[in-house]
Amino acid sequence: MKISCEIAEDLLPLYLEDTCSKDSRAALEEHLQGCPACRAKLERMGRPLPEVQGADAPRLADYGRKVRRRRRQTAVLVLVITVSAAFLLALTGLTVREMRRPVHVPTVEEGTWNLTAEDLETTAAAVDGYVLYTNYAQIQVTVCSEAGGAVLLRDAASGSMIQTAEVEGGTDSCTFTMLTSARRYIVDCGDIDGGAAVTVSEGRSFWRSLGEVLRDLVRL
Ligand SMILES: [Zn+2]
């Protein structure tokens, strides 16, 4: 179909936006093949006219659509990554805060070591002289000794044994779990070399704190 330069000019913006009908596109492309003036106009309007035959033009439009789709996909991907990174960062921040949170440090009776407030650093020989309080349902014992050995957890009131664990030579830890803030505990390093350095703490760990944070989130 032959069209005039005036009609071609009207169609150029639609052609550039890729919104004209198939027939208009075909007619315009046919016109452009034979009209340097309108080709120049198209070039001025922003997109250089590709030196292609009519048959290649649809492929070109396809290419344009693909580029736009890829740009959209990239934008969505960037958004997803940004949101995920922000979420992970927030979660890590909350977890670290949870680890350090001075969890409502309760006042405990005199003569009891409050592990919620402060770790206990002592020796294997002296550690059973302390009555221990935990508000974290667990007690972690880190021993730095040559040979390692058994670590016992006793009930402070009755002296009866609650749990036992083993530590290896070098620096090693064991953790007693499922404890309660209602009881008081004594850690006994029994057969471990008396001079060995012993650290007793609630053993707040990243993963356990992360668990606490996630549980709080679920509860919200
Ligand atoms: Zn023309």
Q: pLDDT digits over 161-189, tens only?
A: 999 999 999 999 999 999 999 999 999 99
Cα–Cα distance list, 43 to 10, 37, 51, 190 (Å) = 15, 10, 12, 90
Instruction: Please tell me whether residues 42 and 122 are part of one structural domain.
Output: no
Q: pLDDT digits over 86-119, tens only?
A: 999 999 888 888 777 656 778 899 999 999 888 9
Q: Which domain holds residue 152?
A: 112-205
User: Is 174 a domain residue?
Assistant: yes
The CATH number covering residue 136 comes to: 2.60.120
User: Is 69 a domain residue?
Assistant: no
Domain boundary among 17, 34, 49: 49
Residue 127: closest CA among 99, 149, 106, 105: 149
Instruction: Please tell me whether residues 126 and 201 are part of one structural domain.
Output: yes
- Ligand 1 centre distance from Cα of residue 16 (Å): 16
Q: pLDDT digits over 115-138, tens only?
A: 988 899 999 999 999 999 998 889
User: Is 87 a domain residue?
Assistant: no
Question: Across the chain, what does the average pLDDT equal?
Answer: 88
Ion ligand 1 neighbours (CB, 5 A) are 5, 8, 35, 38
User: Is 27 a domain residue?
Assistant: yes
User: Is 103 a domain residue?
Assistant: no
Q: Which two tokens stand for residue 140?
A: 């972690």
- Ligand 1 centre distance from Cα of residue 133 (Å): 92
Q: What is the pLDDT of residue 200?
A: 96
Number of domains in the chain: 2
